Structure 1
Amino acid sequence: MSPSAVTEPPFRPRAVFTPEELAALTRRSDLAGVAVTAGLWASIAACFALLALFPNPLVFIAVVVLLGGRQHALAVLGHEAAHRTLCRNERLGDFLGDWLGARWVWQDVPRYRAHHLKHHAHTGSDADPDRSLNRPYPGSRRALRKRVIRDLLGLTGLRRLAAQFLMDIGVFRYTVAAEVERLPQDGRRWTDYLRSGVRHMSGFVLTNLLMLAVLMTLGIGWTYLAWAVAYLTTFSLFIRLRAIAEHAAMDRDPDVRRNTRTTRAGWLARLTLAPLNVHYHQDHHLMAAVPCYRLPTLHRLLRARGVVAEPPTYLGVWRAATAGAAR
């Protein structure tokens, strides 16, 4: 760590922005939240329409890539609701982020919120519940290639399904990180597992059955296969690559400017790795009360006032994260 980094004063929003600027940056909008959600679902519908109109293997592969990105966006929508920044009306924001976002990819906002706020409180420390996601980095390119191959073969997705099932029935403690903790099972009966499973899994099952039913009603039920394949493959890959970009190979330091990273994202990255402005991650950690639709403005202001540096590209981040000895 450089001497300048040690002496750098802590970031205080009120020292950088006027009260009027802070109010504008943190202003939540029901209309914007609905528009973000509607745009996301319109893009999902477009993916299914594309596959239905051009049913060939190349289009199927392209749609699997796109749907993996859209599933990633549904998870990010849940993340936004977890911070209560999606809408001004918190009930509306919770509904949109949970039932039109997280539930479709086997997540839920209430449990994720409790987990994720601990991540914000302890980023860069051993108490960070997401620490295991970035512990392997910096590592080797070979190790990352093996993980990517497992993602694309669906092995990571199958492992995630098994872990999620065991979390939902109460065998493992809930987490979205890479390590799970087994819970005590003394005195639990099969009915306890059943009740817990129904409570936590019903949203995912019902939403996906609804999607399948709609597609079948439209006469294109077979296109749901692309959704399932994407969930097991490209969705896993995009989550991994995004996690690397956000915190991997950063300093173990309480300062967000040294433990969290914003990354430049082109149009393709925005469709896959960086939906809903999630690539402005350092900016988000600096001011978590700023809605996703105002993060570009926040980033421009922070850059102009010398608070944050020009962000690296995803390729540059992955190179830094795979700078281990073994190639």
Structure 2
Amino acid sequence: MEAPTGQSASHEPNGPPDTAELKATLKRLRTEPRGWVFTLKVGLCAVLTATGVALALQPALWSRIVGVVLTGAMFAHAAELQHETLHNLAYRRRRANTVCGVVLGMPMLISFAAYRATHMRHHRDLGTPQNREFFDYGDQYGTRGDRSRLAAGFDWAARFTMVHHYGLFAANLWRSLRRRDFAGENARVSRRIRRDHLLTAGAVLALALLSWWTGTAVVLWAWLLPLVLVAAPVHAAIELPEHYGCETLNRDPFANTRTIRSNRFATWFTNGNNYHVEHHLMPNLPIERLPDLHREVRGRIRYFHRGYIEYFGKLVHK
């Protein structure tokens, strides 16, 4: 992985002037969301999730292992699909994006409203000290270079277990049960965050009651194990390359974000998240148009890899 080549103190709200001019010339790439395309994505995710759950509930150990892996992978994929709804790019109607986004986030305990509010601020503030992200991985961008190996090990463990995320969900659920507003959010957004947490808690409770009623471990094999053992580390791995080791105090998206031009499977599985420079350059561009944008701006990208294997190989050997 490339080390940062320096950090700029520039904090222009729209990035360097040439970047703003480039974006103006690329407006021609914008198209309306195609809801039927996203519906097919969600349908495939649902079928694969159901297949994984069915395998995980079989008595054979091999079937359970395959089922847990497939189910967990689809939980992580659903979180990437949810990202598309945050930007209202899945459907033309905002309500459709919200309903679908709430459901897609449930398996990984992701509040659509909380994620959306934080994510929009991330797009606004990236490149400034005010930047914060929804998922807290500890050493978010790899800036703690003076950490001991033990401390760094704890950082990586926190990242790939997503322990901070579970703690945040529990704290926010408790706040929701007490009907409290959330710091930094207005009353309307706070109501929506409470809605998401209560709906998700209700779904988990229903699954737990089903396990009790049937005398089986449905909640364990169909949700808890896929979440903790597969979805969390896979999701963390998808998110890691986005800005890690980039120039995160530089407003230029070509410097503060990374793109990975991978194969069709990885692009599908991450729902285009590999084209992350392109997404930050034009966040309102439909996901399926990101490869087109990539062809226009490839030569400007400072942090670029030809695949996830190449990226993680360099990261491990750094």
Give the TM-score range, shorter chain: 0.7 to 0.9
In structure 2, the residue matched to 1:296 is: 291
| Post-superposition offset of 1:57 | 3.0
Counterparts of 1:138 and 1:26 in 2: how far apart (Å)?
41
Counterparts of 1:215 and 1:283 in 2: how far apart (Å)?
44
Match of 1:262 among 259, 263, 270: 259
Deviation per CA, 1:151-170: give whole Å up to 9, x if none: 77xxx355532332113333
- Cα 1:151–1:229, aligned 2, differ >3 Å: closer, same or farther? farther
Asked if structure 2 preserves the Cα contact closer than 8 Å seen for 1:77 and 1:101, the reply is: yes
Counterparts of 1:210 and 1:292 in 2: how far apart (Å)?
34
Counterparts of 1:61 and 1:43 in 2: how far apart (Å)?
15
Q: For residues 9-20 of structure 1, what are the structure 2 equivalents within 5 Å? A: 9-17=18-26
- Cα 1:249–1:212, aligned 2, differ >3 Å: closer, same or farther? same
| Post-superposition offset of 1:56 | 3.1
1:280 matched to 2:275? The reply is: yes
| Post-superposition offset of 1:125 | 2.0
What amino acid maps onto 1:225 in structure 2?
L
| Post-superposition offset of 1:144 | 6.2
Q: For residues 1-327 of structure 1, what are the structure 2 equivalents within 5 Å? A: 1=5, 9-17=18-26, 21-22=28-29, 25-52=30-57, 55-98=59-102, 100-130=103-133, 134-137=140-143, 156-157=161-162, 159-170=164-175, 199-209=195-205, 222-226=217-221, 227-251=223-247, 252-266=249-263, 269=266, 274-303=269-298, 306-308=299-301, 311-318=305-312, 321=315
Residue 294 of structure 1: SS of its match in structure 2? helix
Of the structure 1 ranges 116-125 and 6-15, higher mean CA displacement relative to structure 2 is found in 6-15
- Cα 1:224–1:265, aligned 2, differ >3 Å: closer, same or farther? farther
Counterparts of 1:170 and 1:56 in 2: how far apart (Å)?
41
In structure 1, the residue matched to 2:187 is: none
Gaps of 5+ in 1: 172-181, 184-194
In structure 2, the residue matched to 1:189 is: none
In structure 2, the residue matched to 1:188 is: none
Counterparts of 2:139 and 2:80 in 1: how far apart (Å)?
17
| Post-superposition offset of 1:284 | 0.8
In structure 2, the residue matched to 1:178 is: none
Deviation per CA, 1:183-212: give whole Å up to 9, x if none: 6xxxxxxxxxxx999745321123335566
Gaps of 5+ in 2: 11-15, 177-181, 184-190
- Cα 1:144–1:234, aligned 2, differ >3 Å: closer, same or farther? farther
| Post-superposition offset of 1:263 | 1.6
Asked if structure 2 preserves the Cα contact closer than 8 Å seen for 1:244 and 1:318, the reply is: no
- Cα 1:74–1:220, aligned 2, differ >3 Å: closer, same or farther? farther
Asked if structure 2 preserves the Cα contact closer than 8 Å seen for 1:105 and 1:204, the reply is: no
- Cα 1:144–1:239, aligned 2, differ >3 Å: closer, same or farther? farther
Tell me the percent identity.
21
What amino acid maps onto 1:117 in structure 2?
M
What amino acid maps onto 2:275 in structure 1?
Y
Residue 262 of structure 1: SS of its match in structure 2? strand
Asked if structure 2 preserves the Cα contact closer than 8 Å seen for 1:169 and 1:196, the reply is: no
- TM-score, normalised on structure 2? 0.73
Residue 305 of structure 2: SS of its match in structure 1? coil
- Cα 1:138–1:12, aligned 2, differ >3 Å: closer, same or farther? farther
Deviation per CA, 1:225-269: give whole Å up to 9, x if none: 232112123222123222320001001311001100112344674
Counterparts of 1:197 and 1:290 in 2: how far apart (Å)?
26
What amino acid maps onto 1:278 in structure 2?
N
Counterparts of 1:318 and 1:143 in 2: how far apart (Å)?
21
- Cα 1:51–1:87, aligned 2, differ >3 Å: closer, same or farther? same
In structure 1, the residue matched to 2:188 is: none
- Cα 1:224–1:196, aligned 2, differ >3 Å: closer, same or farther? same
- TM-score, normalised on structure 1? 0.71
What amino acid maps onto 1:291 in structure 2?
P
